Amino acid sequence: MAFSGAQVLLFPFPTAGHIIPLLDLANHLINHHLKLTILVTPQNLPLLEPIRAIHPSDSIQTLCLSFPQLPAGSSFAARVRATSELYDPIVDWFRTHPSPPVAIISDFFLGWTHKLACRLGVRRIAFWPSGAFTCLVISHTWSNVEEILSTTNENSLITFTNIPNTPEYPRWKVSTLSSQYKKGDPDWEFLRGGYFENMKSWGVVFNSCREIEGVFIDRVKKEMGHDRVWAVGPLLPLDNNLVGPYYFQRGGSSVMPRDEVMTWLDDKADDSVVYVSFGSRAMLTRQQADALATALECSGVNFVWCLRIQEEGHVAGYKDVITKEYENRVANRGLIIKGWAPQVAILRHRAVSVFLTHCGWNSILEGISSKVLMLTWPMGADQFISAELLVNELNVGIRACEGGCQVVPDSVELAHILSESITGAPPQKERMSKLHDSVLEALQKGGSSSQDLDAFVKQIGQLQNETI
Q: Which residues carry out catalysis?
A: 18, 107
Question: In this structure, how many other beta carbons lie within 10 angstroms of the beta carbon of residue 317?
Answer: 15
Question: In this structure, how many other beta carbons lie within 10 angstroms of the beta carbon of residue 330?
Answer: 17
Q: From CA 139, how far away is CA 299, in angstroms rounded?
A: 41
> What is the end-to-end Cα distance of the chain in Å, rounded?
30
Q: From CA 283, how far away is CA 304, in angstroms rounded?
A: 17
Q: From CA 159, how far away is CA 307, in angstroms rounded?
A: 36
Residue type, 60: I
Looking at the DSSP bridge assignments, the partners of residue 273 are 302, 352
Of 97, 137, 139, 104, which Cα lies nearest the Cα of 119?
104
Please tell me whether the peptide bond between 234 and the residue prior to it is cis, using omega within 30 degrees of 0: yes
Q: From CA 60, how far away is CA 27, in angstroms rounded?
A: 10
Q: From CA 27, how far away is CA 10, in angstroms rounded?
A: 12
What is the number of residues in the chain? 468
Q: From CA 67, how far away is CA 468, in angstroms rounded?
A: 29
Give the DSSP H/E element, type plus range, for residue 188.
helix 186-200
Q: From CA 305, how far away is CA 318, in angstroms rounded?
A: 12
Is 397 buried (19+), middle (13-18) or exposed (0-12) by CB count in 10 A? buried
How many DSSP H helices and E strands does the chain contain?
A: 20, 15
Q: From CA 82, how far away is CA 93, in angstroms rounded?
A: 19
- Phi and psi torsions of 357, nearest 5°: -130, 155
